[in-house]
């Protein structure tokens, strides 16, 4: 019979025991559960609720259980229902009556959410560290390829020339925002619910602040009903993971495109590619594709939790047992995706010539030619029309703007002079973007300082 079976005359069926058990999932939280129990026991001892001898027996017994779990000697029994019952049953078997006093002033309701908050905090910190590593890889790649130029796109059409470091740093800033979301999720988890008991608090003279401090929490929850039923902090973590996976998916899509024969902008390392079982020539960007695919899985974890929570009355409901599996999966998946993307960015080969060749296609100088006229006094809308006519002329001749003669330019506007030829150079065009945040190399140098300052600040908060 279960530890809670006092008012029952028979046990649950084998099927319902298996159906209702959370042990296969929440045993991953064994270290948090044991830490919470040790802190609770020490607090009970400090408040005189249990004896110092009982505290010593409980703490040493829990240490032995943790050692057995980590050595692989501990046998988890599905009949124990969850990690809390599993550990407590083993403790009572080890130390006897003292172990049965551990649960004084505590419910599984506040116990489970304490474990979950501790686990979420740890996983957020792990993810923040992986996030920083990826951003550093992007910064390093930006520095290595500082002078490489490529087409910038809108609507997947050639738009204006940009420098590759500018493109890479765009993703670094996306992931910097993701770091803040992960940090906010960690902060949201950083309050201790122990002492809330089942839903209404307890009559024992608990020192909740002592327990919170020992477990490294920044504070305690303010309302016992809210404390045992709140899973907003998991929504925060799942949302942060989902957004970051979307960013990873966008970057993966570009790596997939850039590694095609049509683009040829990059070559992925063999370590991050696979072959074909039938086509000997294939080198597939499988891991970029897999990151892209796993995004749906992580977003699904978020949606599942939202739907689980959407109509729950106060306080605890068994539905909340479904809160951990998605969170654990989302965190593990995001961490793996971060690591995989870091490896791909760090080891990919940039094919500078292929990027440079594409910069000379698609009339990337068109906007700058219009700006040339506008700076000479022609209203920009009129300048836009003039350059549109020049592009149409290029279409008819199957050439690019730099192939036109000065006479061709003057036929559209007398404002064109010999220096128009200089306005067609892709590097000059990109470097002319001198505004803060622009693609000009001087602006990129300033942006790199900001990115590295952001990295340093975030590293210090880990």
CATH number reported for the structural domain that contains residue 310 in this entry: 1.20.200.10
The CATH number of the domain holding residue 394 is 1.10.40.30
- pLDDT recorded at residue 422: 79
Helices (H), 190-318: 208-214, 224-229, 232-258, 286-309
Helix ranges (H only) for 377-425 are 380-397, 406-412
Share of the chain above pLDDT 70, in %: 98
Q: How confident is the model at residue 423 (pLDDT cuts 50, 70, 90)?
A: confident
439 and 447 Cβ atoms separated by less than 8 Å = no
User: 395, 372 in Cβ contact below 8 A?
Assistant: no
Work out the pLDDT band at 352, boundaries 50, 70, 90: very high
Q: In this structure, are 346 and 375 located in the same domain? A: no
C-beta separation of 435 from 441 below 8 A: no
Active site residue 259: no
Q: Identify the weakest region by mean pLDDT among 147-151, 227-231, 280-284, 331-335.
A: 280-284
Q: Is the predicted pLDDT of residue 269 greater than 70, yes or no? A: yes
Say what the pLDDT of residue 7 is: 63
Question: What is the helix (H) or strand (E) element at residue 350, kind and residue range?
Answer: strand 349-350
Check residue 8 and give its pLDDT: 60
Q: Which residues pair with 287 in a beta bridge?
A: none
Q: Is residue 52 part of a domain?
A: yes
Residue 113: the pLDDT is: 98
More confident residue, 176 or 401: 176
- At residue 176, the pLDDT reads 98
Q: What average pLDDT is seen over the chain?
A: 95
Q: Is 143 part of any domain?
A: yes
Please give the Cα distance from 196 to 220 (Å, whole number). 10
**281/419 same-domain check:** no
d(CA 300, CA 5): 36
302 with 291, same domain: the answer is yes
Considering the domain architecture, whether residues 329 and 372 belong to the same structural domain is answered as no
Domain boundary among 73, 104, 135: 104
Rounded Cα gap, residues 254 and 171, in angstroms: 11
**Active-site residue among 155, 261, 277, 311?**
155
- Do 308 and 322 form a contact (C-beta atoms < 8 A)? yes
pLDDT exceeds cutoff 90 at 20: no
Residues 76 and 147 in one domain: no
> Does 5 reside within a domain?
no
Question: Which of 303, 332, 358 marks a domain boundary?
Answer: 358
**What are the pLDDT digits (tens) for 76-100?**
998 888 999 999 999 999 999 999 9
Q: Is residue 180 part of a domain?
A: yes
Q: Beta strands 149-154 and 157-163: pairing type? A: antiparallel
327, 425: one domain: no
> Per-residue pLDDT tens for 363-400?
999 999 999 999 999 999 999 999 999 999 999 999 99
Q: Does some domain include residue 431?
A: yes
Per-position b or e across 133-172, b if 16+ CB within 10 A of its CB = ebbbbbbebbeebeebbbbbeeeeebbbbbbbbbbbbbbb
Which of the 8 DSSP states describes residue 421?
A: G
Report the pLDDT value the prediction gives residue 2, as an integer from 0 to 100: 61
Domain count, the chain: 3
* Prediction pTM value: 0.93
Same domain, 349 and 279: yes
Instruction: Indicate if 124 and 226 belong to the same structural domain.
Output: yes
For residue 380, being part of any structural domain is answered with yes
Asked whether residue 196 carries a pLDDT value surpassing 80, the answer given is yes
Alpha-carbon distance of 344 to 341, in angstroms, equals 5
- Which of 5, 51, 276, 461 is the catalytic position? 276
User: Is 155 annotated as catalytic?
Assistant: yes
Classified as helix, coil or strand, 427 is: helix
372 and 426 both lie in a single domain:
yes
**Which CATH number do you get for residue 49?**
1.10.275.10
Which carries the bigger pLDDT value, residue 276 or residue 2?
276
Predicted confidence band of residue 219 (pLDDT cuts 50, 70, 90): very high
pLDDT of residue 396: 95
161 strand-pairing partners: 151
- Is pLDDT of 1 > 60? no
- Please indicate, yes or no, whether residues 294 and 428 belong to a single structural domain of this protein: no
- Same domain for 327 and 378? no
Beta bridge partners of 163: 149
Query: Above pLDDT 90, what percent of the chain?
Result: 90
Asked whether residue 442 is assigned to any structural domain, the reply reads: yes
pLDDT digit string (tens) for 21-79?
899 999 999 999 999 999 999 999 999 999 999 999 999 999 999 999 999 999 999 88
Closest CA to 179 of 228, 130, 136, 109: 130
Would you place residue 10 in the very low, low, confident or very high pLDDT band (cuts 50, 70, 90)? Answer: low
Residue 7, domain member (yes or no): no
Residue where a domain stops, chosen among 86, 104, 122: 104
Domain that residue 368 falls in: 360-456
**Which of 241, 242, 222, 219 has the alpha carbon at shortest distance from 230?**
222
Residue 356 neighbours by CB distance under 10 Å: 16
Confidence of residue 13 (pLDDT cuts 50, 70, 90): confident
Do 116 and 99 share a structural domain? no
């Amino acid at each position: 019979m279960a530890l809670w079976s006092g008012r029952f005359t028979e046990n649950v069926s084998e099927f319902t025991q298996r159906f209702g058990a959370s042990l296969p999932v929440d045993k991953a939280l064994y270290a948090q559960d044991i830490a919470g129990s040790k802190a609770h026991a020490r607090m009970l001892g400090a408040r005189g609720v249990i004896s110092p001898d009982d505290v010593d027996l409980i703490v040493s017994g829990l240490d032995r259980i943790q050692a057995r779990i980590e050595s692989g000697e501990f046998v988890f029994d599905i009949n124990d229902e969850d990690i809390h019952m599993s550990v407590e049953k083993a403790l009572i078997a080890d130390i006897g009556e003292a172990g049965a006093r551990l649960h004084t002033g505590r419910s599984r309701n506040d116990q489970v959410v304490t474990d979950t908050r501790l686990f979420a905090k740890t996983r957020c910190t792990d993810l923040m560290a992986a996030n920083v590593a990826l951003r550093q890889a992007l910064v390093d790649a930006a520095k290595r390829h500082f002078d490489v130029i490529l087409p910038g796109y809108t609507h997947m059409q050639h738009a204006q020339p940009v420098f590759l470091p500018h493109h890479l740093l765009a993703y670094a800033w996306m992931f910097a925002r993701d770091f803040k979301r992960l940090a906010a999720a960690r902060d949201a988890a950083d309050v201790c619910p122990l002492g809330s008991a089942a839903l209404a608090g307890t009559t024992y003279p608990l020192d909740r602040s002592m327990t919170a401090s020992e477990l490294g929490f920044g504070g305690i929850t303010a309302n016992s009903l809210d404390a045992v039923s709140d899973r907003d902090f998991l929504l925060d973590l799942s949302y942060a993971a989902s957004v970051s996976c979307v960013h990873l998916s966008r970057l993966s899509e570009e790596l997939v495109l850039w590694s095609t024969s049509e683009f040829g902008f990059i070559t992925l390392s063999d370590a991050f590619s696979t072959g074909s079982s039938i086509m000997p020539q294939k080198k597939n960007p499988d891991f970029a594709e897999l990151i892209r695919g796993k995004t749906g899985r992580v977003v699904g974890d978020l949606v599942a939790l939202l739907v689980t929570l959407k109509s729950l009355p106060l306080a605890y409901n068994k539905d909340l047992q479904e809160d951990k599996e998605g969170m654990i999966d989302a965190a593990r998946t995001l961490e793996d995706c971060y690591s995989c993307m870091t490896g791909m960015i760090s080891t990919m080969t940039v094919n500078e010539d292929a990027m440079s060749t594409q910069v000379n296609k698609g009339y990337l100088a068109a906007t700058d030619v219009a700006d040339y006229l506008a700076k000479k006094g022609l209203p920009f809308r009129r300048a836009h029309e003039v350059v549109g006519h020049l592009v149409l002329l290029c279409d008819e001749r199957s050439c690019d703007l730099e192939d036109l003669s000065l006479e061709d330019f003057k036929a559209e506007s007398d404002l064109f002079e010999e220096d128009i030829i200089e306005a067609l150079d892709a590097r000059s065009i990109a470097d002319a973007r001198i505004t803060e945040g622009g693609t000009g190399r001087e602006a990129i140098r300033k942006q790199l300082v900001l990115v590295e300052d952001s990295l340093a600040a975030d590293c210090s908060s880990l």
